[in-house]
Amino acid sequence: MEDKAIFSYKIKQWANELGFAHCGIAKADFLEEEAPHLEHWLQQGYNGTMQYMENHFDMRLDPRILVPDAKSVISLTYNYFTEKKQNKDAPKISKYAYGEDYHFVVKEKLKILFEKMQATIGDINGRCFVDSAPILEHAWAKKSGIGWVGKHSLLINKNQGSFFFLAEIIIDAELEYDIPFYTNHCGTCTACIDACPTDAIVGDKIIDGSKCISYLTIELKDTLPTEFKNKLDDWMFGCDVCQDVCPWNRFSIPHQEPRFEPNEKLRNMNRQEWKDITEEVFGEIFRKSAVKRTKYSGLKRNIDFLMS
Active site residues: 131
Query: In DSSP terms, which residues pair with 77 in a beta bridge?
Result: 22, 166
- Which residues, at least 6 apart from 115, have a Cβ–Cβ distance to it below 8 Å? none
- CB count, 10 Å around CB of 241? 21
CA atoms 58, 59, 61, 65: torsion sign: positive
Residues 192, 242: Cα–Cα separation, whole Å:
4
Q: CA-CA distance, 204 to 246, in Å (whole number)?
A: 14
- How far is the C-alpha of 119 from the C-alpha of 115, rounded, in Å? 6
End-to-end CA, the chain: 63
3-state secondary structure of 37: helix
> What element of type H or E holds 167?
strand 164-171
HSE-CB at 167 with a 13 A cutoff on CA atoms is 29
